[in-house]
Every structure is written in C-alpha cells, then in structure tokens.
Amino acid sequence: MSDVEGVRLTPRLRLDPVDTSRAHDLWLVHGEEEVWRWYGAHAPTRARIGERAALMEQAWRLHGVHKWMAYERDGGRVVGRGGLSRTPVDADWGQVYRFLPDEPWARQVHDARSPYPAHAHWLEIGWAVRHRFRGQGYATEIGRAGLVFAFDVLGARAVVSCTLRHNVRSRAVMERLGMGFAGEIASRGLVEGAVHEQDDAPYVVHVLLRDEWPG
Ligand SMILES: CC(C)(COP(=O)(O)OP(=O)(O)OC[C@H]1O[C@@H](n2cnc3c(N)ncnc32)[C@H](O)[C@@H]1OP(=O)(O)O)[C@@H](O)C(=O)NCCC(=O)NCCS
C-alpha cells in the first residue's frame, strides 16, 4: 500500500524514503551502539549520518529506491530504518554472483551511474531497529515491505541480504522472510569479539529469487 511515490504503509508502520530532512531520525537509529557496532568499530559522527542521508536521497531520485525510515503509524515515533538499495558494482558485491543464476541479468548495470554504478536487477535488503522496539516483529515487517517493493514495484529478479556471520538476530529476520542461506563472502567488518575491523570478516548471504517469492 502506498500514497506518494516510495512511501509505504504496513500494518503498524509508515515507511518514508530517507532524505536529508530525516538525518536526525537516521541518527536516532545509527547513534545507538547496539546498531552501529554491526556496521563498524566506531560510532558514526552526525556529519557522516548527514552524508548517508544525502546519498540515500540521491539514490531514491536516480535509482528509484533506497532505505526507508520506519515510524509508528500510531504515535509517529522512530522505530528504525531499513529496506532496499541497489547493490554497487564492485569487487565486494561481485562475490555474490556465484549465488545467483548464471544469467546475463545478474551482471547488468543500472542506467543511472550516479550516485554509484549499481546492478539493475538485484538489490540488497537490510534493517535496523531501535532498542526499545526490538522483539516485536518490526524488522520483519520492514523486510516484507521491502520484498513487495522489490518484486511487485521494481520487478527485481532477486533480493539478497548479507550480515556478519555472528549476527543471529539479523539472520533470524532473513529466515522469517523466507530468504534461504546461500553461502558466505568476506568483507570489511568486525569479527566476533574483535576490537578492530578486518578486511576479510565472514558475512553470510541469503538470497530470494523472484521465482521463489510467494507474493
Ligand atoms: C537485526 C534486528 C533489526 C532484529 O530485530 P528483532 O527485533 O530481533 O527482529 P523483529 O523485529 O523481526 O522481531 C522478531 C521477534 O519479535 C517477535 N514478534 C512479536 N510480534 C511479531 C510479529 N507481529 N511478527 C513477527 N515477529 C513478531 C518474534 O517472535 C521474534 O521474537 P524473538 O526475538 O523472541 O525471536 C535488530 O537486532 C537490530 O536492529 N540489530 C542492529 C542492527 C543490525 O544488526 N542490522 C542488520 C545488519 S546487516
């Protein structure tokens, strides 16, 4: 269900495309240590969050999609952020080709080369929920809305989700959404128990192909 372009309504949430006007709300999510720890060894600065919001705004305009801020439909409090983004064409994401069908669409590049060159037919999905809203199914609700948007609105061929191997909460969301484990890749991140990031941290990859999507 949607009212204006990109905005979605789920049973309990209003999902709004991230733009610079929502940088503070994005900060409320990514400023929580329980969230930023999964994305790097250091807390992001407010300036960095502002840059991320600007990139997301650009991606919504040029790629037709990026992450949403999630708000309670009743009350309007910031619940989290999540949803889709087009995957960059780079060596990191190139590791995912082996988990996709060996067909031309998997490597086809989106027409808009800005804000970054991206794959045209498959996207990444993710979620982050503020501490006080965890354990209530909100991440799964955001994820389901993302899959509907990917397959029914954008006509995507596949959606993938990646997280550090030891992120059991995020992996549980992928499983609840019916996204099957496909394998692992190595990328920059914090290995369990480590203080410093390393280049070859293990990430699991879960994949849902359009043909497997029950709709
Ligand atoms: C990953 C993350 C979003 C998962 O949040 P979560 O609250 O565990 O996931 P959900 O919102 O889907 O909630 C699921 C729980 O709510 C319960 N639940 C209650 N009502 C529910 C409903 N209507 N629908 C689905 N689940 C419901 C489920 O049974 C499950 O319970 P459990 O925790 O006892 O297993 C959260 O841990 C987080 O923000 N982590 C930091 C950021 C992060 O790691 N992001 C991913 C990086 S790739």
Q: Give the 3-state secondary structure of the chain.
A: CCCCCCCEECCCEEEEECCHHHHHHHHHHHCCHHHHCCCCCCCCCHHHHHHHHHHHHHHHHHCCCCEEEEEECCCCCEEEEEEEEEEECCHHHHHHHHHCCCCHHHHCECCCCCCCCEEEEEEEEEEEECHHHCCCCHHHHHHHHHHHHHHHHCCCCEEEEEEECCCHHHHHHHHHCCCEEEEEEEEEECCCCCCCCEEEEEEEEEEEEHHHCCC
| Residue ID of nearest Cα to ligand 1 atom 30 | 135
Decide whether any atom of ligand 1 lies within 6 Å of the 138 Cβ. yes
Cα of 111 from ligand 1 centre, angstroms: 35
The candidate with the shortest Cα–Cα distance to 63, out of 16, 143, 119, 126, is: 119
Cross-strand bridge partners of residue 81: 69, 128
The rounded mean pLDDT for the chain is: 96
**CATH topology assigned to domain 8-212:** Aminopeptidase (3.40.630)
Percentage above 70 pLDDT, the chain: 98
Q: What percentage of the chain reaches a pLDDT higher than 90?
A: 95
Predicted local distance difference test score (pLDDT) of residue 3: 47
The arithmetic mean of pLDDT across residues 21-42, rounded, is 96
Per-residue pLDDT, averaged over 49-74, amounts to 98
Q: Which of 29, 136, 188 is the best mutation target for the ligand 1 pocket, counting ligand atoms within 8 Å of the beta carbon and taking the most? A: 136
Q: Which of 127, 165, 179 to mutate to test the pocket of ligand 1 (most atoms within 8 A of CB)?
A: 127
- Indicate the pLDDT class of residue 157, thresholds 50, 70 and 90: very high
Tokens of 197: 């990031």
Q: Can you give the pTM of this predicted structure?
A: 0.97
Across the range 69-80, mean pLDDT stands at 97
pLDDT for res 4: 62
71 lines ligand 1 (CB under 6 A): no
pLDDT, tens digit, for every residue of 160-169? 999 999 999 9
- pLDDT score of 43 more than 80: yes
Task: Please give the pLDDT value at position 214.
Answer: 87
Does pLDDT of 1 surpass 80? no
167 close to ligand 1 (CB < 6 Angstrom):
yes
164 Cβ below 6 A of ligand 1 = no
Atom from ligand 1 closest to the CA of residue 32: 41
Q: Where are the domains of the chain?
A: 8-212
Q: Which atom of ligand 1 is nearest to the CA of 129?
A: 39
Is the per-residue pLDDT at 35 higher than 90?
yes
- Separation of CA 136 and ligand 1 centre (Å): 6
